[in-house]
Chain A
Amino acid sequence: MYRYIWLVPLLPLAGAAINGLLGRKLRFSERLIGGIAVGSIALAFLITLASVYSYAFGSGAIWPNVYVTSQDGASYSWIPGGAVRFTQGGSARSMVAVQESAREEWAKRLAEMTPEERLRGGTISVLRGHNEEERASVLDVEWSYQLDALSSIFMLVVTGVGLCIFVFATGYMHGDPGFYRFFAYMGLFMFSMLVLVMGSNFLMMFVGWEGVGLCSYLLIGYYFDRPEAANASRKAFITNRVGDFGFALAIFGVIATFGTTQYTDVFGQAANFPLEPLGNWGILSWIALGLFVGACGKSAQLPLHVWLPDAMAGPTPVSALIHAATMVTAGLYMLTRTNVIFQHSQTMMTVVAVVGAATALFAATIGITQNDIKKVLAYSTVSQLGFMFMACGVGAFAIGIFHVMTHAFFKALMFLGAGSVIHGMHHEQDMRRMGGLRKYMPYTYLTFLAGWLAICGIIPFSGFWSKDEILWSAASTRYVPVGWIVWIVGTIAATCTAFYMTRLMAMTFWGKERFLDNQHDHAPGHEVHGADHETPTHHVHIPHESPPSMWVPLAVLAVLATIGGFVGISPAFTGGHHVGGRMNIVNFLDPIIWNPTTRFFGTHEVVDSFGRRPELVERHATTSVLTTEPVHAEPPPPYGHEGFNLAHTVESVVHKHWLTEVVFIIISLLVAGLGMALGWLFYVKKPGLPDIWAARLRPLYQASYNKYWVDEFFGWAVTRRTMDAARAVFAFDSKVIDGAVNGSAGLTRLASRVTGFTDRYFVDGLVNAIAAFVMRLMSPLFRAAQTGFTQNYALVMVLGLVLAVILFFGADITTAFKAMFATWF
Chain B
Amino acid sequence: MKSLPILSIVTWLPTVGAIIILALFKKTQGTSIKKFATAWFGLAFVASLLLLAYNRGMGGMQFLEDCTWIPSIGARYQMGVDGTAVLLIVLTTLLGVIAALSSWKYIEKREKEYYILLLLLQTAVVGVFTSMDLFLFYLFFEVSLVPMYFLIGIWGGENRLYAAIKFFLYTLVGSVVMLLGVLKMYFLTQDLALTSQITQATKDMLAGNSEAVAMVARSVQVAADNGTGTFNILHMQALGSVIPMGTMQVLLFFAFALGFAIKVPMFPFHTWLPDAHVEAPTAGSVILAGILLKLGTYGFFRFNLPMFPAASADESFFGSFGVRSVMIFLAIVGIIYGALAAMYFVVKRDGDVKKLVAYSSVSSMGIVMLGLFSLNPNGVNGAVLHMINHGIYSAALFLLVGIIYERRHTRNVAEFGGLSHVMPGYAAIFLSMVMTAIGLPLLCVFISEFLALRGAFEANPYWAAWGALGIILNAGYMLWLYQRMFFGTIDNPKNETLTDLSSREWIYMTPLVIMSLWIGIYPKPFLEYIERPVNAVVRQIRPTYPIQGLPATVPPPERAAVTNEK
Contact = CB atoms under 8 A, between A and B. Distances in A.
B is bound to A: yes
B461 A82 contact: no
B458 A210 contact: no
B381 A726 contact: no
Interface stretch (A57-65, A73-81, A517-525): A73-81
Contact of B381 (A81, A725, A738, A816): A81
A209 to B, nearest CB: 8
B458 A241 contact: no
A400 to B, nearest CB: 26
A82 B531 contact: yes
B378 A745 contact: no
A737 B337 CA distance: 12
B475 A241 contact: yes
Contacts of A252: 453-454, 457-458, 461, 464
Contacts of A133: 544-546
B535 interface: yes
A234 B271 contact: no
B465 A809 contact: no
Nearest to A77: B524
A81 to B, nearest CB: 6
Interface string B358-393: 000000000000000000111001000000000000
B425 to A, nearest CB: 9
Interface in B197-235: 225-228
A238 B472 contact: yes
A248 B523 contact: no
Interface in A131-149: 133-134, 136, 138-139
Interface in B325-350: 337, 340-341, 343-344, 347
B451 A81 contact: yes
A238 B475 CA distance: 7
A82 B72 contact: no
A207 interface: yes
A97 interface: no
B51 to A, nearest CB: 21
Contact of A237 (B465, B477, B479, B489): B479
B566 to A, nearest CB: 8
Contacts of A281: none
B487 interface: yes
Contacts of B32: none
Nearest to B457: A252
A82 B378 contact: yes
Contacts of B523: 78-80
Q: Interface residues of B toward A: which range?
A: 35 or more
A693 B226 CA distance: 100
Contacts of A727: 344, 347
A255 interface: yes
A679 interface: no
A723 B73 CA distance: 55
B524 A224 contact: no
Contacts of A745: 166, 169
Interface stretch (B33-41, B89-97, B440-448): B440-448
A733 B72 contact: no
Contacts of B521: 78
B469 interface: yes
Contacts of A738: 271
A241 B468 CA distance: 10
Contacts of B442: 207, 211
A741 interface: yes
Contacts of A725: 340
A813 B546 contact: no
A227 B488 contact: yes
A82 B537 CA distance: 13
A244 B227 CA distance: 60
A214 B435 contact: yes
Nearest to B484: A230
B362 to A, nearest CB: 10
B551 interface: no
B488 A730 contact: no
Most chain B beta-carbon neighbours within 10 Å: one of A79, A138, A206, A242: A79
A203 B476 CA distance: 23
Interface in B239-281: 268, 270-272
Interface in A237-263: 237-238, 241-242, 244-245, 248-249, 252-253, 255-256
A259 B224 CA distance: 48
A85 interface: yes
A748 to B, nearest CB: 9
Contact of B468 (A203, A207, A237, A249): A249
B341 A741 contact: no
Contacts, number: 178
B487 A726 contact: no
Nearest to B544: A133
A134 B546 contact: yes
Contacts of A136: 546
Interface stretch (B283-291, B403-411, B416-424): B416-424
A214 B442 CA distance: 12
Nearest to B521: A78
Contact of A225 (B270, B458, B488, B535): B488
B458 A84 contact: yes
A779 interface: no
Interface string B475-492: 111011001001111000
Nearest to B464: A252
A253 to B, nearest CB: 7
A726 B544 contact: no
Given A225-B418, A809-B73, A816-B226, A82 B522 contact: no
Contacts of B441: 203, 206-207, 210-211
B341 A812 contact: no
B347 A723 contact: yes
Given A133-B546, A255-B454, A809-B72, A733 B341 contact: yes
A245 B469 contact: yes
Contacts of B270: 737
A286 to B, nearest CB: 9
Nearest to A218: B431
Contacts of B271: 733, 737-738, 741
A184 to B, nearest CB: 11
Interface string B515-535: 000000111100110010011
Contact of A85 (B228, B347, B468, B545): B545
Contacts of A85: 376, 458, 545-546
Nearest to B456: A252
Interface string A107-136: 000000000000000000000000001101
A697 to B, nearest CB: 38
A819 interface: yes
A344 to B, nearest CB: 19
A730 B225 CA distance: 56
A729 interface: yes
A230 B476 CA distance: 13
Nearest to A221: B487
Interface string A695-734: 0000000000000000000000000001101110110010
B71 interface: yes
A76 B522 contact: yes
A253 B454 CA distance: 9
A297 to B, nearest CB: 11
Contacts of B344: 726-727, 729-730
A407 B284 CA distance: 55
A815 interface: yes
13 contacts: A77-B524, A80-B523, A80-B524, A81-B451, A85-B545, A87-B459, A138-B548, A211-B442, A227-B488, A229-B487, A231-B483, A809-B73, A819-B226
Given A82-B534, A136-B546, A819-B225, 17 more contacts: A80-B523, A80-B531, A81-B454, A82-B376, A133-B545, A210-B446, A224-B420, A227-B487, A245-B472, A256-B461, A726-B347, A729-B344, A733-B341, A741-B170, A741-B272, A809-B72, A815-B226
Closest 10 A/B residue pairs (Cβ): A82-B377, A136-B546, A252-B457, A730-B344, A816-B72, A230-B487, A726-B343, A207-B441, A729-B340, A224-B487
